[in-house]
Amino acid sequence: MTNRIQVLDLFSTIRVFVFDMDGVLTNGRLHITKEGDELRSMNIKDGYALVQALKHQHEVVLISGSSCEGVRRRLERLGVRYIYMGVTDKLQTLTEWTVAHQVLPEHILYMGDDVPDWHAMRSVGMSACPADAVQDIIETADYISPFKGGEGCVRDVIEKVLKLKGVW
């Protein structure tokens, strides 16, 4: 865990936001229909922040172990170009993306909420998690949002970065 001044310094260097889906962009709950379809819920305020990040030349990347076509379509409508679902090794996917796009790890903020995010979070310039992340992730994160997954944690980190840069 880093102190407040260090966290502000970390926020100021971010150019890329990487988010997990379940428990970060969504609240981690699944609603199962009688047909067996899985439904997820996303926060409109998080969506607005994603659009603002893209508008101000920040990249947004989704890396998720699960898949959801509805979430994919929503993110595509918002302008997110890099969507990786069904990923078994998040660190490998992140590393391949950073190499392909020539992005230094110190310019990346990764927000995750559970153990599958741990290695990827440790490989970037700034790690963050929602307030309701599992304890191992809370202990790893440079920044713990006061907001829960699917309830504004994505907007929280994007807004902080863009405000520091004077574009929010």
Is the per-residue pLDDT at 4 higher than 70?
no
Q: What is the pLDDT of residues 115-145, one digit of tens each?
A: 999 999 999 999 999 999 999 999 999 999 9
- Determine the pLDDT at residue 38: 85
pLDDT of residue 142: 96
What SS3 class is residue 38?
Answer: strand
pLDDT of residue 2 exceeding 80, the answer is no
Could you tell me the domains of the chain?
A: 4-164 (3.40.50.1000)
CA distances for 126 relative to 25, 35, 79, angstroms:
18, 40, 23
Residue 145's closest CA among 65, 123, 155, 135? 155
